[in-house]
Amino acid sequence: MSTPPSAAPRHAPATLRNREPILAVLRRVLPPSGIVLEIASGTGEHAVFFAASLPALVWQPSDPDPAARASIAAHAAAAGAGNIRPPLALDASQPWPDLAVDAVLCVNMIHIAPWEATEGLMRGAAAVLPPGGPLYLYGPFRRAGRHTADSNAVFDRMLRAQDPRWGVRDLEAVAGLAAAHGFGAPDVVEMPANNLSVTFRRA
Ligand SMILES: C[S@@+](CC[C@H](N)C(=O)[O-])C[C@H]1O[C@@H](n2cnc3c(N)ncnc32)[C@H](O)[C@@H]1O
């Protein structure tokens, strides 16, 4: 894919709010070294921050959106980070490239995409991870059939109005899908603003 002429770095203010709490969990769940495949990197701000904070890891960002990939590349170039690879064009719901990585991370994607993206995420992560390799998810989830906060219920309605295939996912449904793809039970951490960190490990 070529880089569009308007290759300006984009900004998502939420990344500034959630990156430190996410990093604290990543320090525990990611391996000490190796390659981290980030699905749905968006602006690339997380990629640059996590790569700088975890210099023994190599960060492989990705996004299906060419404008997002241009933003990721622009942020990486501005940061001068040596441990970020050029972004891959990867749609989680489509066949993945032939990769071998040590961890997979996906922040704020599965509720803003059709369920097929979650299915593809599980299928793809199971194929690229070694035994014991972590799949880290972050975002809002329903638990036991309920939203965990009124604000998440409002957000869910807004998402479904925008696209009926989107919506805050049930943690149990995601965990069931993960189990069907050979992942163990999730390690769940409650995060600020009613989000969860959910880490699965490949059996
Ligand atoms: C809300 S943004 C989150 C971006 C970034 N992870 C963050 O937290 O700022 C959602 C991202 O998901 C990407 N996305 C949507 N559908 C996808 C799919 N099927 N596979 C991979 N990424 C997808 C979009 O291109 C967008 O960059």
Query: How far apart (Å, rounded) are the C-alpha atoms in residues 127 and 130?
Result: 8
Query: Side chain identity at 192, as an amino acid letter?
Result: P
First to last CA, the chain: 35
Global pTM?
0.96
Query: How far apart (Å, rounded) are the C-alpha atoms in residues 14 and 144?
Result: 26
Q: Which two tokens stand for residue 3?
A: 């880089």
93-119 pLDDT per residue, tens: 999 999 999 999 999 999 999 999 999
46-105 pLDDT per residue, tens: 999 999 999 999 999 999 999 999 999 999 999 998 999 999 999 999 999 999 999 999
How high is the pLDDT of residue 186?
98
Pocket of ligand 1, beta carbon within 6 A: 12, 15, 39-43, 46, 63-65, 68, 91-93, 107-109, 112-113, 117
Q: How confident is the model at residue 7 (pLDDT cuts 50, 70, 90)?
A: low
| CB atoms inside a 10 Å sphere around CB 20 | 11
Measured by CA distance, the residue closest to atom 7 of ligand 1 is 42
2 pLDDT above the threshold of 50: no
Q: Please give the distance, rounded to the nearest whole angstrom, from the Cα atom of residue 179 to the centre of ligand 1.
A: 23
How high is the pLDDT of residue 192?
97
Q: Which two tokens stand for residue 90?
A: 């990867």
Q: Which two tokens stand for residue 126?
A: 């199971």
Query: How far apart (Å, rounded) are the C-alpha atoms in residues 112 and 159?
Result: 7
Angle at 1 between CA 165 and CA 73, to 5 degrees: 90
Total residues belonging to the chain: 203
Query: How far apart (Å, rounded) are the C-alpha atoms in residues 198 and 189?
Result: 7
Query: How far apart (Å, rounded) are the C-alpha atoms in residues 62 and 41?
Result: 6
| Nearest atom, ligand 1, residue 94 CA | 19
Q: What is the mean pLDDT of residues 111-134?
A: 98
